[in-house]
Amino acid sequence: VNWADRAGERIGRLTEEDQARRVRAFDSKGVRGTLGGREIVSFASNDYLGLSQHPRVVAAAHEALDRWGTGAGSARLIVGGRAIHDELETDLARWKEEEGALLFPSGYSAGLGTLTAFGTKGTTILSDELNHASLVDGCRLSRADVLVYPHREMDALEGLLSRSESPIVVSDLVFSMDGDIAPVADLVSLCSDHDALLVLDEAHAVLGPSVPSGSGDRIRLGTLSKFLGSAGGFAAASRSLVDLMVNVARPFIFTTAGSPADAAAALAALRIVRSDEGEALRTRLRALIDRLRPGHPSPIIPIVLGASRDAMAASERLLELGFLVPAIRPPSVAEGSARLRVTLSAAHQEEEVEELALALEKVTGTTIDG
């Protein structure tokens, strides 16, 4: 077997299907920087509140570096954690109004760790068809039976729930490719009625929606890597659920603790998110979204173009005009629904958003206000 040839053939097929990808470096501080020698404004970041550049967040990371150095050195259970990890977990739990929280190295591994910890043999995971890849992969790695329900269709979910053994319902709260919102009140009440564990991935929920309280068990997943401007993920839940994850969630157990500087940055960012300043940043973000697509519920704004080739060409054309807007193609989205995905941040200027709107109209030939 010549693996280099095999790899080459597969890449060739991906290229023919307009699905080949490559990594590019963006030399930036926040949303502005240079790519391939060109000055651009990025609409490709999930740093929705611009906190990766906030002076208090950066200072907190500096202090942590000075105090503890760079890498944590070992896994949390091998005592790789520092006090800052515990402090961050305490604040994350308070923020999510849960008894505890557990850090993971990324949001991706928080999804994997949670679904594999609870999705044991004899359980059934019910998963929205448009859930993020981390949840899809968590379902695949679990020992549970997995049933996929049509996107946001609560009647279909209810039908499946009534036939499922030890059900776990998992859903993005804000869907990462469409920017639409899960019917969270219905999810909470259906799970309460059917004694199902509800797992909500709140990675993109910078503007909510808030999660109503309910009588059932739930796990709230989040990431430090998006609007907390850092890196890492977490699961927040009742004490016993968190304690079980500490003992059985392999993506928590068999990996080095996140760096103390990342934890310190996330903690400083979380304190801003929960303050008046955070509220003002969210108000600003909301206003920018309304300029581009009035009333859209999240900072993720898709412009579906259909063919991968069209989405890639539009993205390239926008880059020439100074805007980084990624083309999202299968398998990240369904065949025939390749798109541009704009993500807005409170760090954008009003004029930048206005100019982007004009450029999008020029490149796609349509208005994009939904």
Ligand X SMILES: Cc1ncc(COP(=O)(O)O)c(C=O)c1O
Instruction: Give the binding site for ligand X (CB under 6 A).
Output: 106-108, 111, 132, 134, 172, 176, 201, 203-204, 223, 225, 233
Residue with nearest beta carbon to ligand X: 107
Q: Which is nearer to ligand X, 123 or 225 (CB)?
A: 225
Q: Which is nearer to ligand X, 45 or 364 (CB)?
A: 45
Angle (CA) 125-127-132 rounded to 5° is 125
Compute the least distance from the CB of residue 220 to ligand X, in Å.
Answer: 12
For residues 336 and 297, the answer to whether their CB atoms sit within 8 Å is no
Compute the least distance from the CB of residue 45 to ligand X, in Å.
Answer: 12
Q: Which is nearer to ligand X, 201 or 217 (CB)?
A: 201
Q: Which is nearer to ligand X, 45 or 176 (CB)?
A: 176
Q: What CA–CA distances, in Å, run from 100 to 91, 112, 139, 141?
A: 9, 18, 23, 25
Compute the least distance from the CB of residue 131 to ligand X, in Å.
Answer: 8
Compute the least distance from the CB of residue 289 to ligand X, in Å.
Answer: 17
Compute the least distance from the CB of residue 175 to ligand X, in Å.
Answer: 8
Among 32, 44, 26, 31, residue whose Cα is nearest residue 343: 44
Compute the least distance from the CB of residue 48 to ligand X, in Å.
Answer: 12
Q: Which is nearer to ligand X, 138 or 352 (CB)?
A: 138
Q: Which is nearer to ligand X, 106 or 259 (CB)?
A: 106
- Whether the upstream peptide bond of residue 330 has omega within 30° of 0, thus cis, is no
Among 171, 193, 197, residue whose Cα is nearest residue 183: 171
Compute the least distance from the CB of residue 173 to ligand X, in Å.
Answer: 8
Compute the least distance from the CB of residue 121 to ligand X, in Å.
Answer: 25
Q: Which is nearer to ligand X, 93 or 173 (CB)?
A: 173
Contacts of 179 (CB under 8 A, 6+ apart): 204, 296, 297, 298, 299, 300, 301, 302
Q: Which is nearer to ligand X, 138 or 164 (CB)?
A: 138
Among 340, 307, 308, residue whose Cα is nearest residue 326: 340
